Structure 1
Amino acid sequence: MAQDYVVLNEENEDSLIAINKSVFKAITEISIDDIENAVRMPETRFAKPLSVRIENNKLLIEADIKVKYGANVNATCELLQNRIYENVLLMTGFKASDIKINVTGFEI
């Protein structure tokens, strides 16, 4: 069953630090905007281009993007996956288990 947050420190009984999945979504959006050849898909009522799930304390991220025309798709997706992983790790200290990038089209 999916959770809305991930718990960072379970060993301390006095306090609890948990991060909501909306934080990971915001980090993913920032990471996509940082990549020159990747364009974030707009969120509409029926289309959700970013999916962040937390299952069994594992972070699963899926992003739909457009790639700028003429750019290397594989290199752009690999760079984006690495950037998302590094930013999530740097900002939260949590390692993403699975990051999927779906290319839905090209931006001219």
Structure 2
Amino acid sequence: MAQEYIALKEKNNDGVIALSTSAFSTIAKIVVEEDENLKLAKPSSPLKYPLNCKIVDDQLILSVDVKVKYNVNVQDVCSKVQSKIFENIEHMTGYKPDVIDIRVSGFSF
């Protein structure tokens, strides 16, 4: 069953630190917006957002629907943004995402 938060392994006398899925989504969104060769795809319906984050069995799963700028190497751009999302989430939260899925839904001109 999917959860709305993930508890970090570090415990102290005050309690357990837990992060919401929206924290991970926000970090991924910022990374995509900073890249000049990518932009988030427009939602296909009002209920479907192009960035989806869920936690299943203590595994963080991110999927990002993007449009790639025309005339750039799609594999390189997607690989770089995938690595950058991983690094930023790890650096900001101390948690390593398990799956980061970059899905190209089209091109921007």
With the length of structure 1 as denominator, give the TM-score of the two structures: 0.92
With the length of structure 2 as denominator, give the TM-score of the two structures: 0.91
Contact 2:11 2:17 in 1 (8 A): no
Query: 5 Å matches for 1:1-108?
Result: 1-9=1-9, 11-12=11-12, 14-43=14-43, 45-108=46-109
3-12 vs 31-40, greater mean Cα deviation? 3-12
**SS at the partner of 2:22?**
helix
Counterpart AA for 1:5? Y
**SS at the partner of 1:8?**
strand
**SS at the partner of 1:36?**
coil
Counterpart AA for 2:8? L
Shift of 1:45: 1.4
Shift of 1:9: 3.1
How many pairs does the alignment contain? 108
Q: Percent identity?
A: 38
Shift of 1:13: 5.8
Q: Which runs of 4+ in 1 moved over 6 A?
A: none
Counterpart AA for 1:15? G
Structure 1: tracts of 5 or more residues without a match = none
Higher strand share: 2
Structure 2: tracts of 5 or more residues without a match = none
Counterpart AA for 1:83? K
